[in-house]
Amino acid sequence: MKRVMGIINLYENEELIQEITEHRPLAAVPFAGRYRLIDFTLSSMVNSGIQNVGILLRSKSRSLMDHLRSGKEWDLARKRDGLFILPPAQASSGAVKGNGDIENFYHNLDYIESSRQKYVLISNSHTVCNMNFRKAFQFHENTGADITIVYKEQEKDSEDFTGSTVLATTDDGRVIDLAVNPAKVNGGKISMDMYLMRKELLVDIINGCYARGGVDLLKDGLIKNIDSLKIYGYQHKGFVARINSIASYYRHNMELLKPEKWQELFMKSGLIYTKVKDEAPAKYKENAKISNAMVANGCIIEGEVENSVLFRGVKVNKGACIRNSIIMQKCEIAENAIIENVICDKDVIITNGKWLKGDQRYPLVIEKGTVI
């Protein structure tokens, strides 16, 4: 895998998840009690032996930069290779104005071209999984494909498939059709938006797109060239969570309360690294009542917690009750407050005795720093 470099493309659709991406890119959205979305792809790359990773930024990057710092937590603070931050160009000089990822790629071609690796794996932050890319790379080499797309075979109604890309393949895995967000998509071979190819090919595609006014790597680079390129689909069989809306964010956090999913995502093919905060272990007091919950360090629990995910440093005071909710870092739920089906963003304070209730399918989202 020393021959493969990684690029995490943060040009992602945030339309349906605006409530929690107002202050941060999707990549920096807190997930699963102590992580940010980007941790999963980044850790998977590192665990697969990739040592050179570029992060293609889009905007609102402060919280993400604060999270990544030198890349040390992912063992990417290296003398050669390691972590590279690829910011968007300040002013676009070409013909195309920023409405696609091609321009971002184009402005960072220098980094891509000067990297020593022969292959490139392009991924994203919104696909949460713990994956061994070695197998995908082996598949790529065995099939002799120009491009390998990682996909997941998904059952009908198992997800909200809005915005996803659907693959059609022959029996041996060759991709014969790719459609972005087609009408009435429901299950099937859903792309995980991860692509493996030779670096030279990526450079050619970017230059080709840019010169012809193409803006989007997938639509203009891959789909338009589907006949001339040998594209194969590699099926990933493990756990995948696509975070593209508040509903999917809520559902996939909750899904991790099943021990087998928890085990698979966090342990199976390698550990998931994240920025360390040095919080003390969670403390449970005399009257704590807790069932089916995921709790990060630094929490102090005196009240009742059920079917919920608590991020680090959350305080649940006496008589407070949290059900089916996601409570992000450093929130405080005061005495006798009751919240149900709620997503509290960071630093929210729910004062004494308040009752808040959302719906399981439409959880109530409370904005960062709100005092209720």
Closer to another protein by CB, 169 or 253: give it. Answer: 253
Residue 296 is a binding residue for another protein (CB under 8 A):
yes
Strands 147-154 and 188-198: antiparallel
Smallest CA-to-CA distance from 131 within 248, 253, 241, 244 is with: 241
What string marks each residue from 262 to 291 as x (binds another protein by CB under 8 A) or -? x--xx----xxx--x-xxxxxxxxxxxxxx
Residue 71 is a binding residue for another protein (CB under 8 A):
no
Smallest CA-to-CA distance from 166 within 146, 193, 147, 195 is with: 193
Residue 292 is a binding residue for another protein (CB under 8 A):
yes
Total site size for another protein, rule CB under 8 A: 40
Question: Following DSSP, what letter does each residue of 102-156 receive, concatenated?
Answer: HHHHHHTHHHHHHSS-SEEEEE-SSEE----HHHHHHHHHHHT-SEEEEEEEE-T
Closer to another protein by CB, 72 or 251: give it. Answer: 72
Shortest reach from residue 241's CB to another protein, in Å: 14
Residue 75 is a binding residue for another protein (CB under 8 A):
no
Closer to another protein by CB, 111 or 284: give it. Answer: 284
d(CA 130, CA 45): 9
Q: Are 367 and 351 in contact (CB under 8 A)?
A: no
Residue 181 is a binding residue for another protein (CB under 8 A):
no
Residue 294 is a binding residue for another protein (CB under 8 A):
yes
Closer to another protein by CB, 111 or 266: give it. Answer: 266
Q: Which of residues 141-170 bind another protein (CB under 8 A)?
A: none
The alpha carbon of 198 is separated from its chain's Cα centroid by a whole number of angstroms, namely 24
Q: Are 7 and 56 in contact (CB under 8 A)?
A: yes
| Cross-strand partners of 342 | 364
Smallest CA-to-CA distance from 147 within 187, 110, 191, 189 is with: 191
> Which listed residue (310, 328, 331, 334) binds another protein by CB under 8 A?
310
Closer to another protein by CB, 32 or 217: give it. Answer: 32
Binding interface with another protein (CB under 8 A): 32-35, 72, 257, 259, 262, 265-266, 271-273, 276, 278-298, 300, 309-312
